[in-house]
Amino acid sequence: MDGVRVDGVERIFRGRRSAEVVALRGMDLRAAPGEIVAVVGASGCGKSTLLELICGLQTPDAGSVAADPAVLMPQRDLLLPWASALDNAALALRVRGTSAAHAREQARPWFERFGLGGFENARPAALSGGMRQRVAFMRTLLAGKPVLALDEPFAALDALTRQEMQGWLAGALADEPRTVVLVTHDVEEAIVLGDRVVVMSPRPGRAVAELDVELSRPRHRTDAGVVALRERALEALGAVV
């Protein structure tokens, strides 16, 4: 099994009192090992459900999901407020039984690499939103899993920080290649970061268009190629809304 394969997946939520909600129906998705697939769609189209299926947090009601072990990076950083940045980054190692000293030793080099040298002992409350998200990304990487499921990782940041973090993430993934499924509602983010962009329909969500992003990196929002693809992606989104 390599990468991520989602075939004809259906996922239905049945509330006790509310009517059933079909989050996904006939959803297909492929991510080859080392590929970055960006999934865009309107709010509530089942993007987060898709990631939870890939991470094994949910099981499909129909169809199949086959994926290498995946780790989730949610929209909120979810750093533990009582733990230092270093301990937060090392959380994946700690919860698998690595000793504190050993886990810290393994996490420490990443701080220099990710431009957070000197902030190892800071509490999350003392870090900016972008820095916190970088710590959260380190925690995700240190889980040591081949697949990263990124759920709108920068949606909570202000526009400027978001752009900066997109550039940073592109660089980090170039250094440290993983299979990535990145969910976002920001079409430009999808094009700047993805090798491929999958456009989802509103609920019930399924893939309605796929765009290959054959642009050189690093990419910028204002590049002609990005702008042209953005039009195509928006068209695909518009056609289904």
- Residues forming contacts to other proteins in the complex (CB under 8 A) are 52, 55-57, 70-72, 74, 76-83, 91-92, 94-97, 123-125, 128-129, 132, 139, 143, 145, 149, 156
d(CA 80, CA 82): 6
Exposed, middle or buried by CB within 10 Å (0-12, 13-18, 19+), for 169?
buried
d(CA 162, CA 156): 8
d(CA 138, CA 11): 31
Q: How far is the CB of 26 from other proteins (least distance, A)?
A: 25
Q: Angle formed by the axes of helices 159-175 and 129-142, to 10°?
A: 30
Strand-pair category, 147-151 with 70-73: parallel
Phi first, then psi, for residue 50 (nearest 5°) are -55, -45
Q: How far is the CB of 226 from other proteins (least distance, A)?
A: 27
Is 121 or 128 the residue whose CB approaches other proteins more closely? 128
Q: How far is the CB of 17 from other proteins (least distance, A)?
A: 20
Quickly tell me which residue has 């690093």 as its tokens: 218
Is 163 or 232 the residue whose CB approaches other proteins more closely? 163
Q: How far is the CB of 69 from other proteins (least distance, A)?
A: 8
Is 74 or 167 the residue whose CB approaches other proteins more closely? 74
Is 155 or 226 the residue whose CB approaches other proteins more closely? 155
Instruction: List, in order, residues 6 or more apart from 158 with CB less than 8 Å away.
Output: 129
| Inter-residue contact 186 to 156 (CB < 8 Å) | no
d(CA 70, CA 35): 14
Q: How far is the CB of 58 from other proteins (least distance, A)?
A: 10
Q: How far is the CB of 3 from other proteins (least distance, A)?
A: 17
Is 180 or 213 the residue whose CB approaches other proteins more closely? 180
